[in-house]
Amino acid sequence: MPDYLAGIDIGSTMTKVVIMDNGIISSVMGPTGPEQRRLANKVMEEALRRVNLSFKEITYLVATGYGRINVPFADKQITEITCHAKGAAHFFAEARTIIDIGGQDSKAIKIQDGRPIDFVMNDKCAAGTGRYLEVTADALGIPIEKMGPTALGAKNPAQISNICTVFAEQEVVARLAEGVPLDDLVAGILESLASRISRMVNRLKVEKELVITGGGAKNVGLVTALSEKLGCTARVPPEPLLTGAVGAALLGKDMVGKALKQGLPLEKKERSLREISLY
Amino acid sequence: MAEEQKKEERKKRKTATEAASKIGGMVKAAIGGTVRAKEEGKKLAYSFIVCSYDEIIRAMDIVPVWTENYAGICGAKRDAQRFLERAESLGFSRSLCTYALCGLGFDQWREELGEMPPDAPWGGQARPDMMLSSGQILCDPRNKWYQAAQQFMPDVPIYDVGLPWPMYEDDIEVSEIQDYYIAYIVAELRGLVKFLEEQTGRNMDYDRLSDLVDLGEKTWNLIWETYELRRSVPTPMGTGDAMNTMVPMVFMLGTQEGYDFFAELNRELKEKIAKGEGVVPDEKYRLLWGGGLPSWFALTDFNYFNSKGAVFPVETTYRMIEPTYRLNIPDTDDPIERLAWRWLGYWTYWFDKAKKRPGSEPDVERLIQYIEDYQIDGVVMHEAFSCRTWHLGLIWQLNQLKKIYKPIPVLVLGAGDKKSLEHRELPSLILESDIVDISSYSEVDTRARIDAFIETLESTKKSKADQQ
Ligand code: SF4
């Protein structure tokens, strides 16, 4: 029987699960919100169902993300930093700098051979995270996933001077009322987010290859703006939201391999899926 | 009462040394002591730490009321919010130094009531007879705080002691300009003595002041020697404890009690070293607390680091001493001049080292020295949003360090000019919060950062081992 490795990434807005043998055989992304996070076991069940596996057949499960501590059925908890490093290096062997743009935080990681050697994080301020996009998209009345393609048509990106998410929202509404074209406005928003993120990333001194992960990587306009600001073309994994979960599963694989090599027992949890207690 | 005591014991943060565990009681007694001193009619002065006037006020029998300390205690007891909010409601900006905000909120409340605010932490901060500002050249709150407090205490006079030191520039020789600085500092301190003589109606006893300056210098040397014991592997004491032992260093200088405390700590550390006892049983990572005041309400974060096998054998914060033999203090019988030379010597001590490394700065040299001396694996800093003084330049310093501790093998010239390839990368972590304002803090986020940092240290260790 092959080893099935699972990774579960409980982020602030999405729960992601992957199951791997030699590659990804199943993946599910659960929706946002505290109730759904509590039901991360359901996301896991769905991922298992898709490949007709039972939870008992999973050799090792690693949890990551901000809710990782609360996953009672995970064998091991590892932070997003290490998991994103591993995941990004899996997709791009030459990866040296990673920017993960999540729903509520963003981080930059310097890696070597798939291992983190330094990182910076912004978990204090909504500006510089996916929340900034959510709020401004809402103010403009367009779906968030349309922002990237919309920005690509911009001729004269608007200047958004407010960094603070709350004030930026007001500014965007005012500029729209002034008649600034939507594509210019969206491009301006992405520019300002990219500036904010690049200021954080520059603390690490960006080296090629640059990989962008997380929900922000799905926004082509933001990836373009960041690539320009940082002076190197960013690469994006096929499903950037899954990078952490893939890294988690791969780190589990390493642990299984190491235990086997050293003839040591694997520390594992009882294989039963339970609801997560977040409180 | 027994129940309350039990509760307090349960909440007490675990320290590595016996000496550090006694500090809470010492501070409580000192604060209670100021309230009693007031009742006994002694003269009380609001004072700032690292002011160079410790021995002067002790020699005049003036009881210092350390206002930064009291704000820190309110923070540590997680009871600062009501004072911060009061200060804000008086029109002070939330982004001011939260020590100052907390103190101003407290003072206004006490003055309004004519007695201590209800349930004031550890009995409250006594009303002063005078206020001794000491802004030095970096901290504006230490100049403006007491001026603002005068709104509520218009009868309490202020003396502002401005003690400068030269800003570092690689083409300036301290020896060429030091006389000017010394003359200025001496004049400031003499002015202070005159002010205190007027306030107390007594003359300064210069023999007594000389004895206290002797004691102060002896204490500096003893602290330095004691802290250097922490170089041992495993280290017997970490920064978590040093955030306690700073109390006798900066609040009790020039007192026998302060000296005796460090004699006791010295003995305890030597004993621990002889027994091979460390802060943690299995020391995995040695970290430098490279700057920033701590979050007084979250000192258990140091214990969290310890639970991961990480220890802090050294810190730059509150290590405000150097051995006096390093400071070029000339032979003089004048205790005021000695204080001036100690002050200037302390602030310019790292200048010469910085000059030898183009592009460096004294602060960076100090970090490098500690990294080498204490066998450091990583650097942690804390940006407390409300204190610009301590936090300006931290990121720049880290960037300078990265030029030296690169994530690639570097050629290092060793003894006998032998070249060797070394892997010297040094991960760093910046924590973000505040000294007193707990609303700026998230335990979950802070610990997530610490977890990620520990994993980074681990992977760096592995990379270094793989490359050997
Ligand atoms: S040094 Fe910082 S914390 Fe201390 S008084 Fe000045 S601003 Fe406040």
> Per-residue confidence at B5, pLDDT binned at 50, 70, 90?
very low
- More confident position, B393 or A272: B393
> Per-residue confidence at B462, pLDDT binned at 50, 70, 90?
confident
> Per-residue confidence at A49, pLDDT binned at 50, 70, 90?
very high
> Per-residue confidence at A174, pLDDT binned at 50, 70, 90?
confident
- Cα(B97) to ligand 1 centroid in Å equals 6
Using the predicted structure, report yes or no on whether residue B143 has a pLDDT greater than 70.
yes
- Cα(B156) to ligand 1 centroid in Å equals 22
Atom of ligand 1 nearest to the CA of B48: 5
Question: Which fold, B280-318+350-468?
Answer: Rossmann fold (3.40.50)
Using the predicted structure, report yes or no on whether residue B23 has a pLDDT greater than 90.
yes
Using the predicted structure, report yes or no on whether residue B4 has a pLDDT greater than 70.
no
CA pair distance B406, B117, nearest whole angstrom: 53
CA pair distance A42, A244, nearest whole angstrom: 19
Closest CA to A274 of A42, A87, A77: A42
pLDDT number for residue B3: 43
Query: How many A-B residue pairs are in contact by the CB < 8 A criterion?
Result: 57
Using the predicted structure, report yes or no on whether residue A141 has a pLDDT greater than 50.
yes
Return the minimum-mean-pLDDT range out of A56-65, A78-87, A101-110, A227-236: A101-110
Return the minimum-mean-pLDDT range out of A129-138, A219-228, B404-413: B404-413
Q: Is B68 in the pocket of ligand 1 (CB under 6 A)?
A: yes
pLDDT number for residue A143: 82
Q: Is B48 in the pocket of ligand 1 (CB under 6 A)?
A: no
Residue A133 Cα, gap to closest chain B Cα (Å): 22
pLDDT number for residue A278: 47
Domains B11-278 and B280-318+350-468 share a fold: yes
Contacts of B323 (CB under 8 A, 6+ apart): B220, B221, B224, B225
Atom of ligand 1 nearest to the CA of B386: 7
Closest CA to B70 of B128, B4, B112: B128
CB contact under 8 A, B463 and A82: no
What class is the B11-278 domain? alpha beta
Domains assigned to chain A: 4-82+242-276 (3.30.420.40), 96-236 (3.30.420.40)
Written as one letter, the residue type at B130 is M
* C-alpha gyration radius of chain B: 23
CA pair distance A259, A262, nearest whole angstrom: 5
Cα angle value B178/B184/B190 (rounded, 5°)? 130
Return the minimum-mean-pLDDT range out of A155-159, A275-279, B135-139: A275-279
Instruction: Spell out which chain A residues touch chain B, with contact meaning CB-CB distance below 8 angstroms.
Output: 66, 78-82, 85, 110, 112-113, 115-121, 123-124, 203, 205
Considering only alpha carbons, which residue of chain A is nearest residue B440? A124
Residue B399 Cα, gap to closest chain A Cα (Å): 7
| Candidates A78, A81, A117; nearest CB to B460 | A117
All residues of chain B having their beta carbon less than 8 Å from the beta carbon of residue A124 are 432, 445
CB contact under 8 A, A113 and B463: yes
CA pair distance B194, B159, nearest whole angstrom: 10
Collapsed DSSP state (helix, strand, coil) of residue B196: helix
ipTM for the predicted complex comes to: 0.72
The pTM of the full predicted model, rounded to 2 decimals, is 0.85
Atom of ligand 1 nearest to the CA of B293: 3
SS3 string, B111-135, reads HHHCCCCCCCHHHCCCCCCEEEECC
| Candidates A78, A112, A120; nearest CB to B407 | A112
CA pair distance B74, B67, nearest whole angstrom: 11
CB contact under 8 A, A115 and B459: yes
pLDDT number for residue B364: 94
| Candidates B407, B428, B452; nearest CB to A81 | B452
Residue nearest to atom 3 of ligand 1 (CA): B387
Using the predicted structure, report yes or no on whether residue A215 has a pLDDT greater than 90.
no
Identify how many contiguous H helices and E strands chain A contains and give both numbers.
9, 10
CB contact under 8 A, A115 and B407: no
pLDDT number for residue A126: 67
Q: Is B437 in the pocket of ligand 1 (CB under 6 A)?
A: no
- Cα(A196) to ligand 1 centroid in Å equals 28
pLDDT number for residue B413: 66
Residue nearest to atom 8 of ligand 1 (CA): B97
Q: Is B387 in the pocket of ligand 1 (CB under 6 A)?
A: yes
- Cα(B387) to ligand 1 centroid in Å equals 5
Extents of the domains making up chain B: 11-278, 280-318+350-468
Work out whether the CA dihedral B104, B107, B110, B116 comes out positive or negative.
positive
All residues of chain A having their beta carbon less than 8 Å from the beta carbon of residue B428 are 118
Q: Is B168 in the pocket of ligand 1 (CB under 6 A)?
A: no
Interface contact B255, partner A, CB < 8 A: no
What residues of chain B, 188 to 227, have a C-beta less than 8 Å from chain A?
none
pLDDT number for residue A136: 83
> Per-residue confidence at B42, pLDDT binned at 50, 70, 90?
very high
Using the predicted structure, report yes or no on whether residue B144 has a pLDDT greater than 90.
yes
> Per-residue confidence at B421, pLDDT binned at 50, 70, 90?
low
Convert the pLDDT of each residue in B104-122 to its tens digit.
999 999 999 999 999 999 9
Q: Is B268 in the pocket of ligand 1 (CB under 6 A)?
A: no
Closest CA to B437 of B18, B4, B105, B43: B105
Q: Hey, of B437, B459, B464, which one would you mutate to test binding to chain A, going by the most A CBs within 10 A of its CB? A: B459
CB contact under 8 A, B452 and A82: yes
Q: Is B265 in the pocket of ligand 1 (CB under 6 A)?
A: no
